[in-house]
Amino acid sequence: MKSFVWLVVGCGGFLWPVLLGGHREPDVEVSLPSIAANCQARSEVGQMDQPDAVLEQVGRCSHQDELGFDRGKMFDEVWALVQEHFFDPAAVGSKWEAARTEFRQLAIDSKTHDDFAEIIREMLRGLKTSHTDYFAATNPRRGQMLGIFQMLVPEDRQDLWLYPSIGIDCEQVEGRWFVRSVFDGTPAAEKGILFGDEIVNIDEKPYQPVESFKGREKVKVAIRRQQNGPIELFDVPVKQFDGRTMFEDALLASAKIIEQNNKAIAYVHVWSYAGLKYQEHLRDLLMFKDLRHADALVLDLRDGWGGASLEYLNLFREPIANLTSKPRDGEPMNFSGVWGKPIVLLTNNRSTSGKELLTYGFKKLGLGQVVGETTAGAVVAGRGFLLSNDDVLYVAVSDVEVDGKRLEGRGVDPDVFVERPLPYAAGADPQLETALNILSR
């Protein structure tokens, strides 16, 4: 087992932990004994008598795979790591001992990798803290997280940050899978899959975030865009996504100019801010490439991972000085080192961690307006652990205060609140539309 804490240099020369996040999950009332019992019943009699809420929690018990690891040993490994490293020792005292008693046998009795992971996650949810999660090999976020915490991966296991997908992130609502994110430049984006599409099945089988795409070159995705509406079929290529580079690729593919009311508005979606390279790409796009000619900017911080440093706001502050270079031949060139034009941030309830710090600072400095939803309220520092079964444990190891107050559990409110309902949205984006209206007045 290896662990690594990712640090960057923040404002004022201090070391700040990169806050990665992952959306803060709502409290869910679900009986773990009933989950285990009904998964057992399903495997024995081929049916399940629990409601859809239970199916949602266990990621569908119908998915069977070989665990290939000692469930009791893995449970003990996870439990001990949390007890040793979780930032609040009071939370991992007697209550944590009770959690071991409650959940250990359930984990041992689990029949699939997904079931085991959900039991662990339910135990971790009892700590009521972000940056505390369990990512199994059947979860795309394992590869994404290992791409961020690259030092966790041994040189001979570089397959761990790869996973097959078409480039989507999905969310379950009342037992149905809906497309939450379509990463820019991916096969799903190129084939026209949209935010809010219901995934009815993949190759006529229930959708699984990783398993649906293993060993496939192409899949047939059955989509429904209206409740009880017709099913549309999409042939979509499958590719191996690399957690080290996928969010760079998506950021660059997202960059575009949107013309509205005779104004050219730049748009960039920063899916992950976990590393200086994302800020360097953004600065390059805005200062030296095609977006430099735009009149304004929409910076999209919705979804994905956090990781931003407060110093990144310097790109949008007042310039120290305005420079003019006058060559012997040719036109003079002006340079200030900053964007210097109107900007709107987009946030939602999955804008987490470092992105929340960036939003807080953006509002405090009065750099522009924030449009969308209150951020996730997931602002503590996390540490990743690569476990002996190749799953990843994420543990909150340090509390964080901003100007003397906690944003954990609270988040940062937008200046203009706009919701973006998910089911059957057919790609509609009222948050982006509002931002464009503000900047094109």
Please write the tens of the pLDDT for every residue from 182-196.
999 999 999 999 999
Verify that 306 and 418 share a domain, yes or no: yes
Phi, psi of 163 (to 5 degrees): -155, 150
| C-beta of residue 375 within 8 angstroms of C-beta of residue 359 | yes
Same domain for 335 and 403, yes or no, is yes
Taking Cα atoms as reference points, which of 189, 221, 225, 215 lies closest to residue 202?
221
Number of domain units in the chain: 3
Which phi and psi (to 5°) does residue 73 adopt?
Answer: -65, -40
Instruction: Give ∠ CA 403-409-415 in degrees, rounded to 5.
Output: 70
CATH code assigned at 258: 3.90.226.10
Q: Are residues 267 and 366 in the same domain?
A: yes
CB neighbour class for 303 (10 Å; exposed up to 12, middle 13-18, buried from 19)? buried
Q: Which of 361, 366, 383 is nearest to 11 (CA)?
A: 361
pLDDT digits (tens, 9 = 90+) for 361-403: 999 999 999 999 999 999 999 999 999 999 999 999 999 999 9
Q: Give strand ranges (E) for 143-283.
A: 162-165, 168-173, 176-182, 198-202, 218-224, 231-237, 239-242, 256-260, 263-269
**DSSP 8-state code for residue 115:** H
- Residue 337 tokens read as 């080192």
The pTM of this model reads 0.86
Tell me, yes or no, whether 236 lies in a domain: yes
Which of 241, 259, 290 corresponds to the end of one domain? 241
Are 168 and 220 in the same domain? yes
According to the model, what pLDDT value does residue 331 have?
A: 86
pLDDT number for residue 1 = 63
Instruction: Choose one of 241, 269, 291: the last residue of a domain.
Output: 241
Domain annotation covers residue 134 = no
The CATH number that applies at residue 210 is 2.30.42.10
CA 178 to each of CA 47, 163, 219, 427: distance values in angstroms, whole numbers, following the listed order: 24, 20, 17, 12
* C-alpha distance from residue 165 to each of 139, 141, 304, 363, 393 (Å): 11, 12, 16, 36, 22
One domain, residues 256 and 343 = yes
- Based on the fold, state whether residues 413 and 286 are members of the same structural domain: yes
In this structure, are 98 and 169 located in the same domain? no
- Joined together, the tokens standing for residue 391 give 């799953």
In a domain, residue 433? The reply is: yes
Spatial distance between the Cα atoms of 295 and 287, rounded to a whole number of angstroms: 13
Question: Is 150 part of a structural domain of the chain?
Answer: no
Look at residues 206, 241, 276 and tell me which one is the last residue of a structural domain.
Answer: 241
Does residue 237 share a domain with residue 250?
A: no
Q: How far apart are CA 213 and CA 223, in angstroms?
A: 16
- The tokens 């110093």 sit on which residue? 311
* Same domain membership, residue 277 and residue 323: yes
Q: Residue 134, by phi and psi: left (phi above 0), alpha (psi -120 to 50) or beta?
A: beta
Q: How many helices (H) and strands (E) does the chain have?
A: 11, 21
Q: Please indicate, yes or no, if residue 156 is contained in any of the structural domains.
A: no
Residues 110 and 178 in one domain: no
Q: Decide if 76 is inside a domain.
A: yes
Question: SS3 for 282?
Answer: helix
List, as one string, the DSSP characters of 318-333: --S--EEE--SSS--E
284 in a domain, yes or no?
Answer: yes
Q: Give the model confidence (pLDDT) of 194-248 as tens digits.
A: 999 999 999 999 999 999 999 999 999 999 999 999 999 999 999 999 999 999 9
DSSP-derived pairing of the beta strands 343-347 and 392-398: unpaired
Q: Do 353 and 253 belong together in one domain?
A: yes
The span from the CA of 18 to the CA of 275, in Å, is 8
The verdict on 352 and 268 lying in the same domain is yes
- What's the N-to-C CA distance of the chain in angstroms? 55
Tally of CA atoms within 13 A in the half-sphere of 398 that contains its CB: 15
With H, G, I as helix, E, B as strand and everything else as coil, classify residue 16.
strand
In a domain? residue 19: no
CB atoms within 10 A of CB 425: 17
DSSP-derived letter for residue 205 is B
Rounded Cα distance between 22 and 202, Å, is: 25
Domain that holds residue 42: 25-129
List the pLDDT tens digit at each of the 441 positions of the chain: 655 444 332 332 233 344 556 544 443 333 444 444 444 433 333 333 333 343 334 333 333 346 789 999 999 999 999 999 999 999 999 999 999 999 999 999 999 999 999 999 999 999 999 999 999 999 999 999 999 999 999 999 989 999 999 999 999 999 999 999 999 999 999 999 999 999 999 999 999 999 999 999 999 999 999 999 999 999 999 999 999 999 999 999 999 999 999 999 999 999 999 999 999 999 999 999 989 999 999 999 999 999 999 999 999 998 878 888 888 888 888 777 899 999 999 999 999 999 999 999 999 999 999 999 999 999 999 999 999 999 999 999 999 999 999 999 999 999 999 999 999 999 999 999 999 999 999
Neighbouring C-alpha atoms within 13 Å toward the C-beta of 354: 31
Calculate helix-pair angle for 32-45, 113-125, nearest 10 degrees: 170
Beta-bridge mates of residue 7? 17
Alpha helices, DSSP H only, in 86-201?
Answer: 94-109, 113-125, 140-148, 187-190
